[in-house]
Chain A
């Protein structure tokens, strides 16, 4: 799905990944997802990456990604950090365990990577997802 051509910049890879994920968001979650993504970078910066991820899990309340925008964002972030950006060792399965279980330098890299990725996610969510009318 994601093009891994070496001629792409890292930011292009972030953009490709973000775009494909945003397009998978189902209709009923689009408005919630858009609002959530808009403020999530600020949540990371004010509370820390670990707390921000834990907040997503708490709000998802054990729902799966087809019923929860929070769970969906958690999985998008997880897929980027663990599978594509490979911030953590290959055998890491769960994002929250990775974030709280590795050293400061990885934490810092994961935070920077999350924020850069969220820039794209935020823009694409605004561009492609429909917002609830009030």
Chain B
């Protein structure tokens, strides 16, 4: 089965909605149930791709072949878009790209599943990053302050980590900043940032006459420069080629809510290919 792995770099805030919640924001982003990591589920990614196909004037039979309809499955398989790097504000510097051993391990496993030529796959060996007191691996900035939390340096980034991430970036200038801004923290610390470290925006509807608030609500977004990846595979030959044609024209995709206020834009990296034709 032919597969492709795309990197998705957020160019704008992303709001993969999860409906209303009673939680600390009214409109949270979708999260994985077991880990609380933000996620864009496969159906949302597939919907975004179908939207692109419509915009590019695919006729109905073409769309049915690739995306399916009620009574037949399509030729394309679309995975969840999984989070890999989360931008977090830092007190003493520009933002840092945060990741953790669990996410790196999961990315390793996803690559093994999809890109089956062994020489591309260098598993990342991670040193321990302590939770108590909190530590980080990354460039030497002394004590690192992220949001309100403080981390002591435990060592360098693992060998090969930056090299495996570079292909996921659509922009060379952005990936060139990895060596200065990439930081690995413990799984528990990362979960805290994934839960509470996302931007929360207050939005409002004003009463037209007296400009008082009619409705105030809080919604959560993923910040620009968040890095996700997504796997596409094909059940029937040719489906991936067609999708690549879409991206070839313009390597951007709009996913999730708030499209009319500019949210949801990802830049796609050139795909890493695997599988047999």
Q: A residues touching B (Cβ–Cβ < 8 Å)?
A: 38-39, 41-42, 44-46, 48, 50, 104-105, 107-108, 111, 115, 118-119, 122-123, 134
A50→B148 contact, CB < 8 A: yes
- With known contacts A39-B216, A50-B148, A134-B212, A44–B24 Cβ distance under 8 A: yes
- With known contacts A111-B196, A119-B23, A42–B202 Cβ distance under 8 A: yes
B24→A42 contact, CB < 8 A: yes
- Other than A45-B196, A107-B148, A119-B24, give 13 A-B pairs with Cβ distance below 8 A: A41-B24, A41-B218, A42-B24, A42-B200, A42-B202, A45-B25, A45-B200, A48-B147, A104-B134, A104-B150, A108-B149, A119-B23, A134-B212
B150→A42 contact, CB < 8 A: no
Main DSSP-derived SS at the B contact region: loop
Minimal Cβ-Cβ distance residue in A for B188: A108
Q: B residues touching A (Cβ–Cβ < 8 Å)?
A: 22-25, 132-134, 147-150, 192, 196, 200, 202, 212, 216, 218
A104→B24 contact, CB < 8 A: no
Query: CA of A118 to CA of B25 in the docked complex: distance in angstroms?
Result: 11
Contact of B192 among A108, A122, A123 (CB under 8 A): A108
The 7 closest A-B pairs by CB, nearest first: A41-B24, A42-B218, A48-B148, A115-B24, A42-B200, A45-B196, A119-B22
11 A-B pairs (CB sep. < 8 Å)? A39-B216, A41-B23, A41-B25, A42-B24, A42-B25, A42-B200, A42-B218, A45-B196, A104-B134, A104-B150, A107-B148
- Cβ of A119: which chain B residues have Cβ within 8 Å of it? 22-24
Query: CA of A45 to CA of B201 in the docked complex: distance in angstroms?
Result: 11
Minimal Cβ-Cβ distance residue in B for A50: B148
Interface-centre pick from B25, B148, B192 (highest chain A CB count, 10 A): B148
Minimal Cβ-Cβ distance residue in B for A111: B196
Main DSSP-derived SS at the A contact region: helix
- Cβ of A41: which chain B residues have Cβ within 8 Å of it? 23-25, 218
Could you tell me the distance in whole angstroms from the C-beta of B86 to the nearest C-beta in chain A?
15
Query: CA of A108 to CA of B196 in the docked complex: distance in angstroms?
Result: 10
Minimal Cβ-Cβ distance residue in A for B149: A104
- Cβ of B149: which chain A residues have Cβ within 8 Å of it? 104, 108
- Cβ of A105: which chain B residues have Cβ within 8 Å of it? 132
Minimal Cβ-Cβ distance residue in A for B192: A108
- With known contacts A46-B200, A111-B196, A39–B23 Cβ distance under 8 A: no
Query: CA of A119 to CA of B23 in the docked complex: distance in angstroms?
Result: 6
- Cβ of B218: which chain A residues have Cβ within 8 Å of it? 39, 41-42
Could you tell me the distance in whole angstroms from the C-beta of A132 to the nearest C-beta in chain B?
11
Minimal Cβ-Cβ distance residue in A for B21: A119
Query: CA of A108 to CA of B191 in the docked complex: distance in angstroms?
Result: 12
Could you tell me the distance in whole angstroms from the C-beta of B213 to the nearest C-beta in chain A?
9
Interface-centre pick from A39, A46, A111 (highest chain B CB count, 10 A): A46
Minimal Cβ-Cβ distance residue in B for A118: B24
Query: CA of A41 to CA of B242 in the docked complex: distance in angstroms?
Result: 46
Could you tell me the distance in whole angstroms from the C-beta of B202 to the nearest C-beta in chain A?
7
Minimal Cβ-Cβ distance residue in B for A35: B216
- Cβ of A123: which chain B residues have Cβ within 8 Å of it? 22
- Cβ of A38: which chain B residues have Cβ within 8 Å of it? 216
Could you tell me the distance in whole angstroms from the C-beta of B119 to the nearest C-beta in chain A?
42
Query: CA of A19 to CA of B6 in the docked complex: distance in angstroms?
Result: 49
Could you tell me the distance in whole angstroms from the C-beta of A31 to the nearest C-beta in chain B?
13
Minimal Cβ-Cβ distance residue in B for A107: B148
- Cβ of B150: which chain A residues have Cβ within 8 Å of it? 104
- Cβ of B212: which chain A residues have Cβ within 8 Å of it? 134
Query: CA of A105 to CA of B131 in the docked complex: distance in angstroms?
Result: 10
Could you tell me the distance in whole angstroms from the C-beta of B135 to the nearest C-beta in chain A?
12
Minimal Cβ-Cβ distance residue in B for A105: B132
- Cβ of A104: which chain B residues have Cβ within 8 Å of it? 133-134, 149-150
Query: CA of A39 to CA of B24 in the docked complex: distance in angstroms?
Result: 8
